[in-house]
Amino acid sequence: MKNLYVVGPTACGKSSLAIDIAKSFDCEIVSCDSMQIYKKMNIGTAKITEDETKGIRHYMIDIIEPFESFSVAEYSKKAREIIKAINCRNKSAIICGGTGLYVDALLYPLSFGKSEKNENIRNKLEQEGREYGYEKLYQKLYEIDKNSAEKINKNDFKRVIRALEIYYVSGKTKSHNEIISKEIGTDNIMIRCNMERSILYERINDRVDAMFFSGLVEEIKNLLKDGLNFDKQSMQAIGYKEFKDYFNGECNLEDVKEKIKLDTRHYAKRQITWFKKYKNAIDFDCLTDDFKALKNTIEKRLIEK
């Protein structure tokens, strides 16, 4: 049973396209978004609503609480179980999202979670972070493994420490360990969504404006009232972390909004670069390309052996 991937930068129309494909080929959708896994975080993650699903079943959304941590390996394990169950019902799964690490974890499972762990090294790094500041750990990672450091938020201490741990245990950087073939494979069909850059950035800006209008500030206030703080993994996401200075009285809401827009545009640029590496992907502009032609291409790929 072949499965499909619908990937691309934020705000490019992936979710709508995945739903159209699912309706055409009787598929079910598995989210591949590292933020939509969290409950109570709906507006800032642009989480799909029940009406927007158009009756298509979605998985890997609202599966953990915001104060819980969640790893790439955990995502891979849970998503694979769901995909297998969908295939057992003689249906294809559509893996839809823009989290590149999650996509790689499904396509190339042997490249994740296999590096040897060393609790002593990890504890030493954590102690070093507490004593001298986690920013110094990030700087150390940047000097050792620039490629990995640039993919990790400097405040995501867990991932910074893990990347350093891999280096000290294996003698090789995390990015070196992840260098593998990026062939999609004949069992998968990937649609790589994109659009003209200026239009994408305009859509991102409009989306952020809509988030504020829909109550993003109130959503974050409620999360903080529930005891969440900006050190948690969930609050490291774009659309949430930018509010830290606001709640510390160091900036106003307009500053926050513009920072979210800028950070999101930068993130979209990194996503575009990430997804370029996949060979044999079908490129599709969600605004200008013909869905009927895409549908015909998918139909041919599905029956190919």
In sequence order, what DSSP letters do the residues of 210-256 get, joined into one string? HHHHHTHHHHHHHHHHTT--TTSGGGGSTTTGGGHHHHTTSS-HHHH
Range of the domain at 45: 3-108+180-303
Which tokens sit at 36?
A: 């939509």
Of 148, 177, 206, which residue is a domain's last? Answer: 177
Prediction pTM value: 0.81
Which tokens sit at 3?
A: 């499965």
Residue 32 lies in a domain: yes
**What is the domain count for the chain?**
2
Q: Is pLDDT at 181 greater than 50 in this prediction?
A: no
Q: What is the mean pLDDT of the chain?
A: 91
Residue 270 lies in a domain: yes
Of 131, 148, 177, which residue is a domain's last? Answer: 177
Residue 230: which of 289, 221, 170 has the closest Cα?
221
Work out the number of other CB atoms within 10 angstroms of the CB of residue 234: 26
One-letter amino acid for residue 179 of the chain: I
Phi and psi of 171, rounded to 5°? 80, 0
Give me the sheet containing 3-7, strands edge to edge: 58-59, 28-31, 93-97, 3-7, 188-194, 282-285
What digits encode the pLDDT tens for the residues 200-253?
Answer: 999 999 999 999 999 999 999 999 999 999 989 899 899 999 999 999 999 999
Residues 143 and 267 in one domain: no
Residue 113 lies in a domain: no
Q: Is pLDDT at 111 greater than 80 in this prediction?
A: no
Exposed/middle/buried for residue 218 (C-beta within 10 Å: 0-12, 13-18, 19+) = exposed
pLDDT in the model for residue 176? 63
Contact 276, 183 (CB under 8 A): no
pLDDT in the model for residue 219? 98
pLDDT in the model for residue 165? 85
Work out the number of other CB atoms within 10 angstroms of the CB of residue 305: 4
What digits encode the pLDDT tens for the residues 50-95?
Answer: 999 999 999 999 999 999 988 888 999 999 999 999 999 999 999 9
Give the residue with greater pLDDT, 150 vs 20: 20
Q: Is pLDDT at 178 greater than 70 in this prediction?
A: no
User: If you average pLDDT over residues 151-157, what whole number do you get?
Assistant: 82
CATH number at residue 141: 1.10.20.140
Element (H, E) at 192: strand 188-194
Residues 79 and 201 in one domain: yes
Rounded Cα–Cα distance for residues 234 and 107 (Å): 24
pLDDT in the model for residue 235? 94
What digits encode the pLDDT tens for the residues 253-291?
Answer: 999 999 999 999 999 999 999 999 898 899 999 999 999
Helix (H/G/I), strand (E/B), else coil: 191: strand
